[in-house]
Amino acid sequence: MIRHQDLIERIRTRSGLSDPDEIQSVTSHVIETVARCLDDSERRRLAAALPEQERDLVQWDVAETDRCEPAHLVDEVARRTGRSAEQARYLTQVVLPEVAESDPTLDDSLRRRLPAELVSMSVSPTHEAQLQEAAAVPEQPRPLEPDELDRGLRDIPGWSGDTHRLTRTVSLPSHRVEPLFNAVERAQAELNHPAEIEQTDDGIRFTLRTRSLGAVTELDLRLARSINESVDRAGG
């Protein structure tokens, strides 16, 4: 079983991606989608090969209507990540061999179940450099599914809402409000993604949604995580 940090570092090296949250997001989408293409025994092998942090990505009770046909795997990864089919194919080629490397049995299962080129990373150095450059283009936001939102909020305490918007209200001493606002402003600038901020009788209320889509996206989860870190530093 590969360690979480080793997996992320290997994918960073091969993919051309640099943002840790983006690498984690891409890795999660590939693993979730691949798991939906497998049968129960193959899912068990996949889960056993994953770091503990990624095991919850493997869903065990997959309805027939939610299964992903192997032939449609790349299209589904493209839809989930907001990337082109070529970018999604390359990123899947990066993630799968790293996951399967530590378990020959899993590697064999994936090769039998999935298109061979997705499990074996075999592209020329020149083509790989071109694909890395293409893969590094930021993913386009898309609305999160309810189950994706539930998983995303597990490690972001204090937030509530649904797939349309997230909110958190924070109460701080008055002298800590300005440092919090400054920190949140920096987080918004780094992500190029705004929060709605309102001072109420109960405290400072943050509302997150991707306005262009009228829905919660991965960007909102990243900003929620950054706001929580800012609140912790400000003394909330």
Q: What is the pLDDT of residues 119-166, one digit of tens each?
A: 765 444 444 455 455 555 555 678 988 988 888 898 889 999 999 999
Question: Does the structure show a pLDDT above 80 at 60?
Answer: no
Residue-averaged pLDDT of the chain: 84
User: Among all chains, which residue has been given the structure tokens 């090296």?
Assistant: 13
pLDDT at residue 108, rounded to an integer: 86
pLDDT at residue 136, rounded to an integer: 54
pLDDT at residue 171, rounded to an integer: 93
> pLDDT per residue over 177-192, tens digit each?
999 999 999 989 888 8
Q: Would you give the distance in Å from CA 69 to the centre of its chain?
A: 21
Ranges of beta strands (E only) in the chain are 160-161, 166-170, 196-200, 203-208
pLDDT at residue 64, rounded to an integer: 60
pLDDT at residue 126, rounded to an integer: 46
Mean pLDDT of 3-14: 90
Mean pLDDT of 16-21: 85
Q: How distant, in Å, are the alpha carbons of 3, 60, 76, 215, 232 from that of 184?
A: 32, 38, 34, 21, 12
Q: Which residues pair with 205 in a beta bridge?
A: 169, 198
Percent residues over pLDDT 90 in the chain:
28
pLDDT at residue 38, rounded to an integer: 87
pLDDT at residue 121, rounded to an integer: 53
What number does CATH give the domain 4-135? 1.10.490.110
> pLDDT per residue over 68-110, tens digit each?
777 788 888 888 887 777 888 888 888 988 888 878 888 888 8
Q: Where in the chain is the domain with CATH 3.30.1360.20?
A: 146-234
Q: Where in the chain is the domain with CATH 1.10.490.110?
A: 4-135
What number does CATH give the domain 146-234? 3.30.1360.20
Phi, psi of 198, deg, nearest 5: -140, 135
Q: Would you give the distance in Å from CA 202 to the centre of its chain?
A: 32
**What pTM, to 2 d.p., does this model score?**
0.58
pLDDT at residue 120, rounded to an integer: 65
* Residue 104 near residue 42 (C-beta atoms within 8 A): no
**Length of the chain (residues):** 236
Q: Enter the DSSP assignment of 136.
A: T
Mean pLDDT of 25-50: 89
